[in-house]
Structure 1
Amino acid sequence: MAVAPPEFEFIKEPKLTKWSQPASVVFLCDRRQYEANIWERCVATGEAHENVLVII
């Protein structure tokens, strides 16, 4: 019996669109949440964190 491939939710990296303080605060919050989601994915799948994380 074949095992189905794992299904991943696409986790989109945040982008900094404006150079203002409120935009920076929102970006940092979104970036921390993105990194936490990527970390959870890596722990669950055994992938290397450095290979999955998008560097800005």
Structure 2
Amino acid sequence: MSDENKTLVVLVVVLVFTMVSYIAFINPPLGIALGVGVAVATLVWVVLRDK
């Protein structure tokens, strides 16, 4: 993975984490649901990428 791709991945991870944290602060049940959804989507992406 090139440096540009790594930078982009880090930026996206930070932005998603910030958005989920902000929503969780305002509405905890929605934040928990979004956090679980992001975790599952990440797991599926990693599994499918390895194949």
TM (norm. structure 1) is 0.52
Q: Note the C-alpha offset of 1:21.
A: 2.0
Query: Displaced runs of 4+ in structure 1, greater than 3 A?
Result: 48-51
How much is the aligned-residue C-alpha RMSD, in angstroms? 1.8
- Segments of 5+ residues of structure 2 without an aligned counterpart are 43-51
Return the match for 2:8 from 26, 42, 56.
26
Q: Note the C-alpha offset of 1:48.
A: 6.6
Task: Show the 5 A alignment for 1:1-56.
Answer: 19-47=1-29, 49-53=31-35, 54-55=38-39, 56=42
- Segments of 5+ residues of structure 1 without an aligned counterpart are 1-18
Rg larger for: 1
Deviations 1:16-44 (A, max 9, x none): xxx32211111111110111101100110
- What count of residue pairs does the alignment treat as equivalent? 38
